[in-house]
Structure 1
């Protein structure tokens, strides 16, 4: 049980995302990674090579979430009996 808690990062609360002034469109399950990324960007004047670790973590989280949504859509399509149109 302790390992599971250590592996899954704590998600940002609505209040934390509001205080960090995240736009509504970005207040998702990866918001906990966007907060430090934006802070790093502001502190380093948006130099692209300064916040690579934070950016990589955030983009990977977004990719994993996208893959989950695609898998869920495929599952729903299979249950419905339809095929993909593209």
Structure 2
């Protein structure tokens, strides 16, 4: 079976707790969600604000999804 390398968590548990992130969002992209949420709060959630931060966070989530999909496909192929 292939060995899978987990990506590095860039945000610590303390940082995520201080940012009051719900548990379901404490993943490998949490380091991008923290500044996005701060920007959203400052701009009162205006949809045309924080576009760069939102795009970077969504790209991170997509790449993490693709990584997990490939990992699952390899596991299924090896069985």
Q: TM-score normalised to the size of structure 2?
A: 0.88
Higher relative contact order (CA 8 A, sep 6+): 2
Contact 2:36 2:53 in 1 (8 A): yes
Runs of 4+ in 1 over 3 A off after TM superposition: none
Q: Secondary structure at the match of 1:47?
A: coil
Structural RMSD (CA)? 1.4
- Figure out how many residues of one structure are paired with residues of the other and give that number: 72
Equivalent residues in 2 for 1:1-86, closer than 5 Å: 11-80=10-79
Q: Give 5+ residue unaligned stretches, structure 1.
A: 1-8, 81-86
Structure of larger gyration radius: 1
What residue is the counterpart of 1:6 in the other structure? none
If the length of structure 1 is used for normalisation, what is the TM-score?
0.81
Kept after mapping to 1: 8 A contact 2:36/2:50: yes
- Cα distance in 2 for residues equivalent to 1:75 and 1:13: 29
